[in-house]
A and B are shown apart, each in its own frame.
Chain A
């Protein structure tokens, strides 16, 4: 007579079978393999953009060095610290989830989320600043004198359209020298004025408010958008894509926080979101010196 089953009624074979991963020597859980494979594809994605930046820069180092000076190093530095700090709180959140410390988990996840929001806020300030920063060529003709030759000026700075003034630098243009506004900027003007002897070698141009005279014609104008030149195109492409990744990370962070508030802790999922979040931090660690510092 066959022996009756001694298994308890709630027995499910799947839960007691040998772990297919554990039993083969490598203790890496499948989910972790999955997230690392995803990060591997992310590396390829970012090297596509960063690689094109490196290759283009190597072909045109002067433009990149000059245009890079227009970016705000202080804001980017603060953003770097914000992201590094969010990486710390994320690592602590993973630790808290593993130990089942719900209060610490909620705190750490909330701080991480707040840091991500701060990062995007600072990014917004930076982007708005770039879209109000103009380079333009303005031609002025002396009033009442029909025969007077018009004088052209190159402006670079923040254009207040309502007051019609530019807070930045100004240079008189030599008519015989063609200027492409896409490749100029404050650093370029400084260099030119030094070459022409209008500025001492050790001096620096200071930002001043220059009113655009009445009756002047704005011949050309371009903001510091991605269309201005290859440096800014690289800048917006790489920081834009990175910003999208930050937003993409905020969604699972919010979900995990809400779940923790509902007394549900997901240690594994928290760990995987953490891996992604550290990767986003990692990309910024390379973007910051490449775009802002060198």
Chain B
């Protein structure tokens, strides 16, 4: 038998020395931080959302990179991921103007019509 593992029965060979406990502690700390941030008296809503989403993104990155071993994967996995992730952004960003800026456009339109009537 050669040393090369046979196809189909290979053991997952890579032994990445990831300190899972450290990642877990980081995630717990970030969870506490995001809860505390929610109780802060932040007046502007977009700032609240930005803080919450920024912390969630850091947590998600820690989970994906270390728990899911993405950091040690080849290009193929990144290639698979980049498609849905970019579609996520595209989908939400392209739909947002429909509702959130709809009133602004509506105001512009009605103002123009009013001006036209005079």
Contact = CB atoms under 8 A, between A and B. Distances in A.
Interface of A: 14-17, 19-22, 26-29, 32-33, 36-37, 40-41, 43-44, 47-48, 51, 54-56, 58-59, 61, 65, 73, 77, 80-81, 84-85, 87-88, 90-92, 95, 98, 267-268, 271, 274-275, 278-279, 281-282, 285-286, 288-290, 292-294
A281 B75 CA distance: 24
Sort chain B's interface into a size bin. 35 or more
A282 B24 contact: no
A43 B75 contact: no
B56 A281 contact: no
A58 B104 CA distance: 13
Contacts of A288: 31, 34, 56
A61 B46 CA distance: 10
B20 A88 contact: yes
Given A43-B84, A84-B27, A26 B63 contact: no
Nearest to B99: A59
Given A47-B92, A84-B31, A98-B12, 9 more contacts: A16-B6, A28-B76, A40-B83, A41-B84, A43-B88, A51-B95, A91-B23, A279-B68, A288-B56
B67 interface: yes
Contacts of A281: 63, 67
Instruction: Determine which residue in A27, A268, A282, A288 has the highest number of CB atoms from chain B within 10 A of its CB, and name it.
Output: A282
Given A58-B96, A84-B31, A278-B67, A51 B88 contact: yes
Nearest to B58: A285
A28 to B, nearest CB: 5
24 contacts: A14-B7, A14-B8, A16-B6, A22-B7, A26-B74, A28-B76, A32-B77, A47-B91, A51-B91, A55-B96, A58-B99, A73-B38, A84-B28, A91-B20, A98-B11, A282-B63, A282-B64, A286-B56, A286-B60, A288-B31, A289-B56, A292-B38, A293-B35, A293-B52
Instruction: Determine which residue in A281, A286, A293 has the highest number of CB atoms from chain B within 10 A of its CB, and name it.
Output: A293
Contacts of B49: 294
Contacts of B81: 36, 40, 43
Contacts of A87: 24, 27, 63, 67
Given A28-B73, A281-B63, A36 B96 contact: no
Contacts of B31: 77, 80-81, 84, 288
Instruction: Determine which residue in A26, A27, A55, A92 has the highest number of CB atoms from chain B within 10 A of its CB, and name it.
Output: A55
A51 B63 CA distance: 21
Contact of A44 (B48, B67, B84): B84
Interface string B83-113: 1110110011001101110100000000000
Nearest to B25: A88
A43 B85 contact: yes
B35 to A, nearest CB: 6
Q: 4 closest Cβ contacts across the A-B interface?
A: A59-B99, A58-B100, A289-B52, A293-B38
A66 to B, nearest CB: 12
B3 interface: no
Contacts of B34: 288-289, 293
B21 interface: yes
Interface string B20-56: 1101100110010011011000000100110011011
A51 B27 CA distance: 24
A55 B98 CA distance: 8
